Amino acid sequence: MRLEGKVAAITGAGSGMGRAAALRFAQEGAVVVVVDIDGPAAQAVRDEVAAAGGRAMAVRADVAQASDVKGMVDAAESTFGGLDILYNNAGYWRYAIDGYEPGVTDGPSPLLTEDIWETTINVSLKGTYLGARYGIPALRRRGGGSIINCSSVAAFRVGHGASDAYTAAKGGVVALTRSLAVEHGPEGIRVNCIVPGPIETPLVDRIPPEAREAFGANVPLGRWGRPEDIANMALFLASSESAYCTGQMFVVDGGYLAL
């Protein structure tokens, strides 16, 4: 098994890409800390892992709150003896989380409220920083490990506009990934970033059909990605197979950025 004996914490693991990663990591032998702001959702995924024969615990945490993130890491160490893998998967895109609402937007900036800006930055970028702040000392205590961050193709291609906060947050995740990789490489801590394209998750049901069709039309492989596509990349980055990879962006987008 590729993650035998490893302890992995995955944020935003109550559904979608995070859930798929939790199940995949457990399948490969990892003990999984299932983290989500939705406590019952985290518990449900924990139960799925257990039903499949894996080991996991559920932690309710808001990644924008330092005390919650510290508590997540403390729980991993106190329950399972340490932390080897941190997958900062949690993020916030106003349209996918709350749906489209007339007059409420993620951009352009003259229409973007401070509340939406702050929520987007706090979850997607600050949450990644807090994961590193509290996760790196834990990985250091294990002699190294892997941090996997989650950006988006929106950091590289503004395909539809009206996402100023989201593109800024996800672009920041890219820069933070590179900085962390340089700082902590000498300690044996690898830091990489997955760049997903359009992925079918329960959240996309809140996006209008015309917007979904527009995304799909710009994917050379002709389909939206599946959460498992991202989970497989995360597994590679969590495992020793990526031992010489750090500070890199791994695009999983069906060819979206090639256009």
Locate 190 and state its tokens: 């690898």
Active-site annotation holds for 100: no
Beta strands 31-36 and 189-196: pairing type? unpaired
* Dihedrals phi, psi of 190, to nearest 5 degrees: -95, 140
Burial call 18-56: b when 16+ CB within 10 Å, e when fewer: bbbbbbbbbbbebbbbbbbbeeebbbbbbebbeeeebeb
Locate 80 and state its tokens: 């399972």
Q: Work out the widest C-alpha separation in the chain, in whole angstroms.
A: 51
Q: Is 143 exposed, middle or buried (0-12, 13-18, 19+ CB in 10 A)?
A: exposed
The active-site residue out of 100, 166, 244, 256 is 166
| Contact (Cβ atoms closer than 8 angstroms) between residue 63 and residue 135 | no
Q: Is 12 exposed, middle or buried (0-12, 13-18, 19+ CB in 10 A)?
A: buried
Q: CA 171 → CA 12, 67, 156, 218, distances in Å?
A: 19, 25, 8, 21
With CA atoms as reference, report the closest residue to 93 among 191, 8, 162, 5.
162
Locate 234 and state its tokens: 């995360």
**Catalytic residues, which ones?**
166
